[in-house]
Structure 1
Amino acid sequence: MPARVHAILVVRPDGRTFATLHLRRTLAAVEAQTRRVDALTIVICGKDADAHEFAAASGAESVITAPAGTGFAAATGIASRRVGESDAVWLLAQDTAPEQDALAKLVGALELAPSAAFAAPKLVRWNDADEIASLGVSMTRFGRAMGLADGELDQGQHDGSEDVLAADIRGVLVRIGAWRALDGIDTGLSGADEGLDLGVRARLAGGRVTLVPTAHIAVAGDGVAGPPAPTSAAARRRSAYAERAAQLHRRLAYAPLWAVALHWLSILPLAVWRSLGHLIGKQPGLVWPEWRAAAVAIVRLASVAHARGSIRRTRSAPWSLLAPLRISQATLRERLEDDPDAAEVSAVHRTDLRFFSGGGAWLVLAALVVSAVSFTSLLVWPVLGGGGLQPLRSTVLQLWLDAAYGRRALGLETIAPADPFAVVIAALGSLWPGSPSKILVIVWILALPLAALGGWFAATRVTERPLLRIAGGVVWALSPTLLAALTQGRPAALLVHLLLPWLFFAGAAAHRSWVTAGTASLLFAAVVACAPSLAPALLVIWAGMLVLVLAARAGRGLAKVIWLVVPATVLFTPLVWHQLRAGELGGLLADPGVVWAGPQVAADATGRGLLAAGLPTPDLAGWVGFVPEGVPTWWVPLLAAPLAVFALIAPLTTRWAAGMVLLVIAALGLGTAFAQVGVSVASAQSQTVPLWPGTGLSLASIGVMGAALVALDTGLARRMTRVRSILALVALLALAVLAVPSLTASARGTALLTNGPSSTLPAYVAAEGSDDPDIGTVVLAPLRGGELAVQLVWGGSETLGGQTTVMSTRTSADEHDHELAELAADLVSPTSGDVVDTLADAGIGFVLLAPLDEGTADAASTLRLEAETSLNQRSGLDAVGETARGTLWRVSGELGNRAGVGDAVAATTRMIALVQLIALAAALLLSLPTAASRRAARRTPRVIGPQWQEQR
C-alpha cells in the first residue's frame, strides 16, 4: 500500500466567480477524505485573490503561481518537483470534488493490483451524481478517442469493469515510479486526451490502467483539466480544437518512423476533407478549429520528437498489446448511428406534408396544362427572344467564363467583375449543356407550374389547411408581376418571382437548422443577383430576423441567420469594390441583363396607384387592349382588393404577430417598387431606363399572400369552414379574371416574345464567332437625333450572361470608350486614315451598320446613308451585304489577336473565383439534408407562428 499520497491540485480561475465556488467545494472534499492526503500542492494559473485566499487557508504544503495560460500538463510538471519521496500522485483540478472514500478506494485498488500504473475513478456530473461523465477511455484504429460510458445514466452497469486502455486524466492516482518514468503528461496534447496518452504509454511500458468504479469524483467541466462542458458555442469550438490537435499529435507520435512523413503530409488534405464533412454534417463551427489544429500540428514538430523519444525510452511491450482494448469499427459505427434524441418525447408533432393527398400535385398539373395552352408556340421554339431576352453562350465553359472576373464580352477592353446574375445564368444554362439557350424556353413553359409549386410550399409555412395551401399556389402563379415578366420577356424578374417563395420557405426556418440556412443563403444570393434593388428591403428583413433571434431565442440560431447573407456578400464584393472605385455606387442597383425600356408604369401618382394594386404595367395587366375601345377598365385594379383586405385583417387575428411581420414584408416590397419606378441608373444608347418595379411587387406579394392566408386560417371560427372556402374562392376567382388577358396574350399575338434569334448578329458573324469567341464586331446604330451609337461585341452574339452593369451604368466615359468612339468616327468619316488596320490589329473582324427603327427622323437616315457610303469606299473592308441585322462588312486580311489579360488580372480572376467557389460550395454542402437534420426537422412544426421558441 502506498505510504504517501501527494495531491496536485491545478486551478485556473480565468476571472470566473463560479470557478472559485467550485474550488471551495473541491478543497472541502479533499479535506474530508477518510484516507487523508499526505501532502497537497496547489498550482494557481493566473493571479486571482479569491483563489489564493482559499489556497492559503487549505493547509496546502505549497502554493505555486503560474502564468494564466499554463495548461494542466505544464502545471503538473511544475508541481512534480515538490512530490519528493511520495509513493503516488493524485491529479486534481478546481472542479474535481471527490466523495469521502474516493482516495481510499483508489489507494486500495493500487495495492491490490501491483501491475497497475494508475487507478482511475468514475467521474460523475457536478450537479447530478447519477450521470456518468467518464469511466474509461479507448481509441479507434486511427487514433480517434472515445469514452466508454460518457453521458450514460449510472445504474451500476459498468461497476464490474476494471481493465481499460486509459481513463480521463481528472482524479487518477498514479504510482510515482510510473509518473517519473513516463515524464508526466505530454505537454504537446493541447489539453485533450491526456489520460488516453498516459494510459497508452503506461501500457507500452509494461503497466496497465485499472478502473475503480466505486470511487466517485464529481466534475463540472470548467477547470483546466479535461474537455470543457459544451455549454456554449465557444466552449464547443475550444473542445473541438483541443481534441483534433491532440489526435494529430498522437498520430505523429505513435506512427512508425517510416509513416511519420506521410501522416504529416496528409494533415492539410485531411483538413479539407474533414471540413467538407463538418459542412455536410451541419457543423460549420468546427471548420475553424479543424484548420487551427492542422496548422498547429504542422509546426509543432519539436513536441512530436519529444513524445516519440519518450515512448522509445520507456517502451517494453509491443503495440499489438493495445489491439484488444481498442474500439472496433463495428462498435464505432454503432455509436455514431445511435441517435441520442431518438428517445426524446417531443410536444410538437409535425403533420404530413400531404402534397399529393392535399391537392398540391393537382395544382401543379393544372398549372402545367394552363401554361401549355397559353404558350403553345413556345413548345417548338429552339430559342426565346423579344423584350429583354437574348440567347445564351453555346457552351457551358463560355457561360462560366462570362461569370468570372476578367474581360467582358462587350466593349473594347473592359476588365471588370461579372454581374452575379451571370452566375445564375451559367448555373441555369448548365442544366441543358447541349444547347444552353433552350433552357430559357423550358423555364418559360414551366414558369406557371413552378410558381404554383413555390407558392404552395411557401403557404405550408403559414397554414396546415389544404385549401389555403392551394390558394397560395394559385395566387403566386396568377400574380400580375409573373405574367407581365412572361409576356414581356423579362428573365431576371421571372427568376426573382420563381425564387422568392422558396426563399420565404427556407428563410422563415433558417434559425432552426443549417440545412434551411444553407438553402436560404443560396436563394438569397440568387434573388439579389437577379434584382439587386431588392437588397435593401431584404437586408431590413434579415436584420429583423437577427433581432427576433436575439430577443426571443436568446441568440440560439444566430450564426445560422448571419450566414444567410454570406454567399451574396462574397458574390457582390468584387462588383461593389469596382463600382466604389469608379464612383458609381448607384449602378449596384441596376437590373442585370439586357438594358431594355419595356412598358411599365410612370413615376407619378397614377403609376404608383397601379403599383399599390399590384399592377406593374400601365395597360392594367393587359385589359386595356383586351376589351373593345370605349369599354371602361376602372374596375380592373379592384380585382386585387379581396386579397388585400384579407391581408389587412391578419393583425386582428390570434396570430397577430405573424400577420404583422408579413405585412411589414409587404410594405417593404411596395416601398421598393415605389422607389424602383423613379430610379434610373442604367442607359441603353442615349435613353435612360428606370428599374423594373415588378420585382418589388413580387416581394410585396409574398407578404400579402402570407398575411391573407393567416387571416383566412385563424380569422374565422372553426365551424365557419364553408365561409372560409367561399372567401378564398372569391379572391382566387378575382385573380383568375385579372390574369385572362396575359394568359391569352401569346395566342392573340400581343406578347413580346419571339422565336429566336439564335444570335443578335448576322448569321455569317455568328458562324465565325461560334468557333472564335475572340473575334470582334463593331455595331454602329444611327439614333433619332443624328448621333451614332457604337458597341463592340465579342464572339458570335450578344448574350444574356455577357451583359454587364459596369458598362450600362457608367456616367462618364473611360479611355476605352473614347478609343471606341474614335474608331466609330473614323469608320464613318471619308477622310480618316488606316482605321481598318487598327480594327484588324485589335482582332475586330466585322462592322455592322444597324437598320433604322420605324419612324426614325431624317437626321438618322442621313447619318446612316453617309456611314454606309464611307464604309463601302474603305479599302480593307469587304461588303458582305444586307442582312436581317443590318448591313455587314468584313475586315479583309489577317486579324491580330485580341489583347490578352496580364498576369495580375489572371491572378485576381483565380483568387476571386476560388473565394466565391468556396462560399457557394459551403452553402451547398450545408443545404444537403442528413438523417440527423431530418430527425430534427420532424421535431419542429412546419408552420412558422408568432413564437420563435421552436426547438432546433
Structure 2
Amino acid sequence: MGLAAGHSGEIVALNEPRELDQGQYDGRDEMAGVSAHGMLVDSTLFADLGGFDPTLPADYAALQFCEAAREIGAHVVIEPTAVVGREVAAPGRERQEHGQETGEIDPARVHRYGGSLYLPAPQRRGQIRRRLASVNPLAVPFLWLGMWVAAMLRLVLLSLTKAPDAGVSQFLAAAGALMNWAALFHVRSFRAKGRKAAFARRERQKEFDPAETLRTGRRANEERRLSSAQLRAHRRKVMTAETVSARPGVPEDERAQERARKEAEDEALLAVGASDGEFDEMPSRGSGDKLGLFLMLLALTGVSLVAFRSLLSAESLTGGAALPVSATVQEVLHHATSFVSPEGLGDRAAADPFNLILLLLSALSFGHASTVLVWLIILALPLAALTAWSAAGLWTRSAVTRMIASLLWAAVPTLHLALGEGRIGAVLAHILLPLAVRSMVRAVQARGSWEHATGAALLLAVLTAAAPVLLILALPVIITVAIVLTVRDGSRRSGRTLWLVPLPSLALVFPMLASAAVAEKNVLATLIAEPTPPTAPGISGETAPLWQQLLGHHVAFDPAAGLAGAGQSGSWISDYFTGDFWSLRLALLIGAPLLILAGLGIFSALFHRRPKSDADPAGLRSGTAVAVGLILLAALGLSALVAQLAAGDDGLNLLPGSVAPLVSVISFCLLAAAIGSLARLPQAMRRIGGYITPVAATLLVLSVVASLALWAVPRSTPASELTGEPLTPVHQQPTAIGPGEIRQIPASAADQGLGPAQLRTLVLEATPEGVVAELVSGQGRTLDTYWPGISVGDSPLLARSADGVPAERDLLGGEEVLAELVAAVVSPGAENIDELMEELGVGFALIPGSEEGALVDAVDTAAGLTSVGPTDRGLLWRAETDEEQDIPHVAGQAGVSTSWARILDAEGEVVALLPSQNHQVSLELADLRDSQGEPLQAEAGQNYYIQIASERATGWEAQLDGETLRRMPADETGDGTEEWAQRFEVAGERLTADAELNIEHQPVYRWPMLFGVGIFLVLVTLIAVPLPRSWRMLPVEVRQV
C-alpha cells in the first residue's frame, strides 16, 4: 500500500491500524516509497545507490532509497496483485524490525498529533536524521538547535498527555540522534555517494543531463510529500473508536468482565419488585449520607469557631512553635531559593521543603500566608473529619461507619496537642494523611495509571514537607508495595508507576539534605526536625511513652494525676476529678476502644478469610491487615528511635525529635483496622460477634464525645481565654498559641532590620537555668526564615547521653562570639560590648515583656547600650553611637554604629558602612558620604577589607568594577580560634568614587539544583492535571482477527 513522508521527515504508512487488505488500494500506482519487504529493484541500481542506509530504521531506509532512486530518474510503483512470502521472525526480532527495541515503549500507540508528538524511539532517530539530511547545510545548525527545543516541548507535552515514560523515551531518542554527528554526516554522504555512482554509470548514455534529472527527481519527491492538511486527515483516520483502546492499560478480558458485572447489576436492580410494580423496594446504589456529612462538618466548624474565637481577626499566629510568615511574596520567594540562612549568623544551607508550601500559600493568598495558617488552625477539626470521611470509603460503604471514622480522626488527642502547641506541620500532616493514603491505594488499584500515581506523589510531597520524618517511613513502604505488585503480577506494569510516588518528596528534601551533608552537618537531625521551631519540655512536655502513643498522645501525661484544671478557681470541672488516676481513666476511655477494636480487626482478618464481596467491597482482608500491622509496628519503632535523637534545642538543652506526625500514623493504622472490622466481626466471631459490634460502636461514640467535649467546653465558656487553657484534659501544660502580628520586634528595630543597615536584634530571655539569646533579622523570626538545617545541623546524634543526662553541643564560629556578647551583657563591668555588637551587626537588644528583674538590671547597666524604654514587644535598648566618629554611609544609615557589611582598614577600624538588602550589596562608592557630604577617602598603598557579618562559606563573591576580589582565608588569632566572618581584600587605590561594588552569595550548584527540582515538579504536576481522553496518548486496540 506504500509509504509517504511529511515535510518533518516523518514516514507514515497509508493504511490504518488493524486495517485488512481487501483490495481497496488496488488503484494506486506510483508512490513516494514502498516498504523494504517485498521490494523488487534492479540489482545495478541497488548496487549504485549502496542499498539501504544502515543508520536508519527499516521503513525510513526504504523510503530514503526510493527518493534517491527517483532523483536519478527511476520510478517507484506498486503492484497490488503481487504476493510476497515472508518468514515469520521470532518475537524479539519482529519487535526490532518494526522499529522497537526490547524494553522500549509499545509502538502501538497513537495521538491526535501523530508523529510530531510520539514515534517509537528508532523511528524518532530516523526522522531526525532524515530531516537534518534533507536541508541546506547552512540551515543545519539552526535546525539542530530547534530540534532540541522541540525535544523539550515533546517531553512536556507527553507528560501532560499522561505518558511520561513515552516522553522520556522520546527525549532520549532525540538527544541520541542529535548528538550522533557521525550518523548525521553518514546519512548525507551516503545519499550523495550513491547518487554520484549512479550518475557516473548513466553519463555514458547520450542526451543525459544529470542536473535536469536531479531537479526533476527532487521536484517529484517534493510533490509526493504529504501536505499538513493530508497528514492531519490521516491522523484523524487513525484516531477512531475502532483503532484505539477504550480504556488504556486495561486488558480486553478485564473490560469484558466489568461490562458483564454491570449488566448483571442493572438486571438485578430492575428485577426487584418489577412484576408487582413495587418500585419503592428497589435498592439504590449507595452514595453516602451527604446530609450527615454536611451536618457533622457544620457542627465541627461551629465548635472550632467558638473555641478559636480570639483568632478570627488575628493577622498571624504566635506562641509555642507557631510563627508568622513574611508579609510579601517576594520575601518568601527569596527565602525559599536562598542558600544563606536569613536568620542567625547567615550560615550556608538550603531552605527546608516546607518553604515551598509557604510560597504557594503566599502566592495564592497574595502575601497573606500568615492568615491562611491561622484559618488552618481554626478549621483543623472539620478538615480532618472531611479527609477521614474520604479515606474511610476504602474500608466501608456504610455512611454511619464513615461518620464515626471522621469523628474519631478529629478527636485524636495528638491533633488537639499539636493545635495548642502551634505545630503547623503536625496539624497539616494529620489533615493530609488520610488523603495521601487514599490516593496511594487508588494508585495501586489503577493498574499503572500515571495520573493516579502523580496525584499520590504530590500529596505525599506536601505531607512529607509538613513532616519530613514521615519520609523515613513512607519510602520503604512504597518500595515494598511496588516490589510486591511486580512479583505478584509477573510484570512491571502494575508496579512501575509506584516508583514515581516518592520521587517528588525526595526531590524537595534533596537540596536541604545535600547542603547539610556538604557542610558536614547532622543530616539525620535535619531530616527528623519539624519545619517549626521546637518547644521546650517545660512548655510542651516530654515525649510520651509508646503505650500512651497507642492511645493517641505524643506528649506524656501523668497517669496518677487528676484532670487538668480540676479544682481550680472558675473551672467547670469538679474537685472530684483532682486525683485517683483520672487522667489515666479518661485517656483509656478516649483511646482504648479504638485500640481494642483495631486488635480484634487485625486478628479476625488474619484468621477469618472470606472473598471480597460487593456488599463489603473494601473490608479489611488478610493482606491489608498484615500491611496495617506492619506499618503500625514500623511507626512505633521509628517513634521510639526519633524520641532518642537530637532534633533541636531550646537555647540551653538539646531536645529530641517530635513524634506527633508518627502518632498520627499510629492512630490512622488503628482507625483503618478498627473501621474495617466493624462489618466483619459478626461473621468472624459468630458466638460473640453480634454483641461485640454494637458495644464497640457505642464505646467509639463515647470516646468521640469525651475527647471533643472535654477539649471544646473549656474553650467555649464566655470567660475563657485560648492562651493558658490546658492542652487537653489529661495534660497540665497550657495552650501556647494566641493572636499576633507579623512584626515580632519593636518598630524602630524592625525599621533598621529592613533598612540598608540590615541590623540584627539580640533577644534575651531569662530562664531558671540561665539566659537564652537569639539573633533575629528584619521584622523578627518568621516561619519561612526558620530552617531546621541551621538550627539542628550542629547537634550530636543523641539528645541524651547513656546515663540520661541531656547532651551538649559545641559552639562553632560566630556562636562563640555571640556567647561572648551575651556573657558581656549580663556581666557587670564588661567593656567590649560595643565591639562585639559591631562585629555581629547587632544594633538593638530586646527583652520580651515588661517585668523587672536581674536580667533587665544587667542590660540596663551594660556599657555600650542605651535604653529606649518599654515598647509593644518588650524592653528595648540600642547600641550607643560615637558622635565624634563620622563614618561614610548612604542615606538611611544615619545614627547607627554598624551594619551588616562594612569596610575596615588594616587595624580593624571601620572606614565605611555599606548598604545591603537580602544578603546582597550593590552600590557605587560615590554614594558613600559622611555627615559633611565628603566622599570615602582611601589611602593608596594601604590594604582594606570588606567584611560581612555572615559565617564563612563557599559561594560568596565580591566584585569591584567587575573584577573579583580575593577572599581572605581564615586567619588564626592569638588564642587559636578562627575568624568567623567573611572578608574580602581590596587595595586602597581601587576604592575610588567611580568604583562599583557588588557582593552576593551564588554557589555554582544553586540554580542548577533549583531549576532541576522545579522542572521535575512541574512535569509531575502536568501529569497529575486531568485531561480529556481525546488529548491523551492512547494505545491501539489489539485483537485477534
TM-score range, shorter chain: 0.7 to 0.9
1:350-369 residue pairs with structure 2 within 5 A? 354=287, 360=293, 363-369=296-302
- Provide the identity percentage: 24
1:278-289 residue pairs with structure 2 within 5 A? 278-289=158-169
Q: Which residue of 2 aligns with 1:267?
A: 147
Counterpart amino acid of 1:705?
A: L
**What's the CA shift for 1:681?**
3.0
**What's the CA shift for 1:159?**
5.8
1:254-293 CA-to-partner distances (Å, cap 9, x unmatched) read 3456654432121221122111122222333334433433
CA distance in 2: counterparts of 1:140 and 1:364, whole angstroms: 59
**What's the CA shift for 1:696?**
1.1
Native 8 Å contact 1:650 1:707 kept in 2: yes
Q: Which residue of 2 aligns with 1:573?
A: 510
CA distance in 1: counterparts of 2:563 and 2:456, whole angstroms: 37
Q: Which residue of 1 aligns with 2:648?
A: 682
**What's the CA shift for 1:693?**
2.5
1:176-227 CA-to-partner distances (Å, cap 9, x unmatched) read 3553454322344366733343344455555224264753534555338633
CA 1:222–1:698: 2 relative to 1, 3 Å: same
1:242-261 CA-to-partner distances (Å, cap 9, x unmatched) read 22221211222234566544
**What's the CA shift for 1:771?**
5.5
CA distance in 2: counterparts of 1:919 and 1:572, whole angstroms: 13
Q: Which residue of 2 aligns with 1:800?
A: 783
Counterpart amino acid of 2:780?
A: S
Counterpart amino acid of 1:923?
A: V
- The one of 694, 709, 715 equivalent to 1:740 is 709
CA distance in 1: counterparts of 2:480 and 2:34, whole angstroms: 48
- The one of 268, 290, 306 equivalent to 2:189 is 306
1:873-952 residue pairs with structure 2 within 5 A? 873-874=863-864, 877-891=865-879, 892-893=895-896, 895-898=898-901, 899=948, 902-903=956-957, 905-932=1002-1029
CA 1:615–1:189: 2 relative to 1, 3 Å: same
1:128-159 CA-to-partner distances (Å, cap 9, x unmatched) read xxxxxxx6443445343334446416373756
CA distance in 1: counterparts of 2:756 and 2:458, whole angstroms: 34
Deviates more, 1:456-465 or 1:795-804: 456-465
Native 8 Å contact 1:405 1:912 kept in 2: no
CA 1:136–1:704: 2 relative to 1, 3 Å: farther
1:309-708 residue pairs with structure 2 within 5 A? 309=192, 314=214, 316-318=217-219, 319-323=221-225, 327-333=230-236, 335-336=238-239, 340-342=244-246, 344=252, 345-348=255-258, 354=287, 360=293, 363-511=296-444, 512-554=448-490, 555-580=492-517, 582=520, 584-588=522-526, 589-597=528-536, 602=542, 607-618=545-556, 624-625=564-565, 627-631=573-577, 632-636=582-586, 637-651=588-602, 652-653=604-605, 654=610, 655-708=621-674
| SS class of match (1:890) | strand
- The one of 253, 277, 302 equivalent to 2:133 is 253
- Between Structure 1 and Structure 2, how many residues are aligned? 790
Native 8 Å contact 1:421 1:530 kept in 2: yes
CA distance in 2: counterparts of 1:644 and 1:934, whole angstroms: 48
Q: Which residue of 2 aligns with 1:759?
A: 743
Q: Does 1:865 align with 2:735?
A: no
| SS class of match (2:379) | helix
1:478-511 CA-to-partner distances (Å, cap 9, x unmatched) read 3222222223321010011112112111222334
Q: Does 1:183 align with 2:50?
A: yes
**What's the CA shift for 1:228?**
4.9
**What's the CA shift for 1:432?**
1.4
**What's the CA shift for 1:819?**
2.6
CA distance in 1: counterparts of 2:757 and 2:598, whole angstroms: 52
Native 8 Å contact 2:92 2:102 kept in 1: no
Q: Does 1:138 align with 2:4?
A: yes
CA 1:197–1:721: 2 relative to 1, 3 Å: farther
CA 1:294–1:551: 2 relative to 1, 3 Å: closer
Deviates more, 1:626-635 or 1:757-766: 626-635
Counterpart amino acid of 1:880?
A: V
Native 8 Å contact 1:597 1:690 kept in 2: no
| SS class of match (1:792) | strand
Native 8 Å contact 2:6 2:226 kept in 1: no
Q: Which residue of 2 aligns with 1:731?
A: 700
| SS class of match (1:415) | coil
CA distance in 2: counterparts of 1:367 and 1:165, whole angstroms: 72
Native 8 Å contact 1:254 1:308 kept in 2: no
CA distance in 1: counterparts of 2:256 and 2:133, whole angstroms: 46
CA distance in 1: counterparts of 2:256 and 2:1031, whole angstroms: 14
Native 8 Å contact 2:470 2:661 kept in 1: yes
Q: Which residue of 1 aligns with 2:115?
A: none
1:28-49 CA-to-partner distances (Å, cap 9, x unmatched) read xxxxxxxxxxxxxxxxxxxxxx
CA 1:363–1:693: 2 relative to 1, 3 Å: same
Native 8 Å contact 2:550 2:595 kept in 1: no
| SS class of match (1:387) | coil
Native 8 Å contact 2:288 2:397 kept in 1: no
CA 1:210–1:436: 2 relative to 1, 3 Å: same
Native 8 Å contact 2:320 2:422 kept in 1: yes
| SS class of match (2:369) | coil
Q: Which residue of 2 aligns with 1:846?
A: 844
CA distance in 1: counterparts of 2:60 and 2:714, whole angstroms: 72
Deviates more, 1:436-445 or 1:743-752: 743-752
**What's the CA shift for 1:832?**
5.2
Native 8 Å contact 2:4 2:226 kept in 1: no
CA 1:547–1:816: 2 relative to 1, 3 Å: same
CA 1:552–1:883: 2 relative to 1, 3 Å: same
CA distance in 1: counterparts of 2:682 and 2:502, whole angstroms: 38
| SS class of match (1:879) | strand
**What's the CA shift for 1:795?**
1.2
| SS class of match (1:146) | strand
CA 1:791–1:307: 2 relative to 1, 3 Å: farther
Native 8 Å contact 2:760 2:843 kept in 1: yes
CA 1:498–1:641: 2 relative to 1, 3 Å: same
CA 1:136–1:192: 2 relative to 1, 3 Å: closer
Counterpart amino acid of 2:1023?
A: L
The normalised TM-score by structure 2 is: 0.68
| SS class of match (2:564) | helix
| SS class of match (1:916) | helix
Native 8 Å contact 1:411 1:793 kept in 2: yes
Counterpart amino acid of 1:538?
A: A
Native 8 Å contact 1:191 1:242 kept in 2: no
CA distance in 2: counterparts of 1:864 and 1:920, whole angstroms: 50
CA distance in 2: counterparts of 1:462 and 1:147, whole angstroms: 50
CA distance in 1: counterparts of 2:393 and 2:99, whole angstroms: 41
CA distance in 1: counterparts of 2:736 and 2:520, whole angstroms: 35
| SS class of match (1:262) | helix
**What's the CA shift for 1:919?**
2.9
**What's the CA shift for 1:330?**
3.8
**What's the CA shift for 1:440?**
0.6
**What's the CA shift for 1:545?**
0.9
Deviates more, 1:661-670 or 1:361-370: 361-370
